Structure 1
């Protein structure tokens, strides 16, 4: 029995090491692996395209209390961004000239309610979530990034707008599958 547990532990360590090395290799080659439920699980390729509504982007979160809380609660992984945060992948839902309204009922862009954008008061562990509020017309450097797949996603509902200089790349799904 002890031998089986030892073999299993070694196998898990080897698989973890392989996945880690592959993920570094993919990032060097411009491929991201998304394993979160915020976007379809799979591989995303960096592309040289403009940031427009509907595209996916990789961004570094700003260094602030909300993202400190997010990393402490494991909503995001550690990484090379300022504050020790990892890159996040989200979809662009609003940009320059769009009117955005965020409250408990969710997110409205140009008067249209976005599906699955209602703010939750607590996370899956019962911890309180930030209750971000906004009513603004976005300027040239502001973007609204979120998930339209997962109503529990940590996104603009809780952290607000993201500045252009935080967005690293536009990414396109290469191979994805459902959760």
Structure 2
């Protein structure tokens, strides 16, 4: 009985190490593997394009209490960004000159309400989520980043606008799968 468990453990370890090495090789080669429901799960490649509405971007969250809290709650992974945060992938929904309103009813950009943008008050475990409020025209280096797929994503509804300096890459999907299902933040 112990031998099959040992073989299984070795197999799981070998697969885990292989996937880890593969993810590092892909990142070095200019690819991201997205496993979160904020965007379609799949493989994305880094592209040399300007940040624009509708683009997917990888960004390092700015050091702040809300991101410290998000790592502690497991909403985002720890990583190599300043503050020990992992990079996030989101869609750009507003750029410089756009009028953005973030309130309890959701997010509007230039007067148009964005579907799936109503902030959730508490996660699936009852933890109260931050309720970011904003009503302004975006400045030259400000972007509104959120999921265009998951109404339960940890995004601008909870952390606000992101500065251009935080954006690391523009990425495009190569191969994706939509495994989206209704679920609350962890």
- Secondary structure of 1:158's match? helix
Query: What is the root-mean-square deviation in Å for CA atoms of aligned residues?
Result: 0.9
**What do the CA deviations read for 1:113-147 (whole angstroms, capped 9, x no partner)?**
10101000111222110010000100111000000
Q: Which residue pairs with 2:71 in the alignment?
A: 71
Q: TM-score, normalised by structure 2?
A: 0.94
How many residues matched? 179
Cα deviation, residue 7, structure 1: 2.3
**What do the CA deviations read for 1:29-61 (whole angstroms, capped 9, x no partner)?**
110000000000000000000111000000000
Gaps of 5+ in 2: 180-186
Task: Answer with 123-132 or 90-99: which moved more.
Answer: 123-132
Q: Which residue pairs with 2:86 in the alignment?
A: 86
Cα deviation, residue 11, structure 1: 1.8
Alignment partners' CA distance in 2, 1:125 and 1:113: 28
Alignment partners' CA distance in 2, 1:117 and 1:134: 13
Alignment partners' CA distance in 1, 2:129 and 2:57: 24
1:122 aligns with 2:130: no
Q: Which residue pairs with 1:144 in the alignment?
A: 144
Q: Which residue pairs with 2:184 in the alignment?
A: none
Q: TM-score, normalised by structure 1?
A: 0.97
- Secondary structure of 1:100's match? strand
Moved over 3 A (4+): none
Cα deviation, residue 6, structure 1: 2.5
Q: Which residue pairs with 1:16 in the alignment?
A: 16
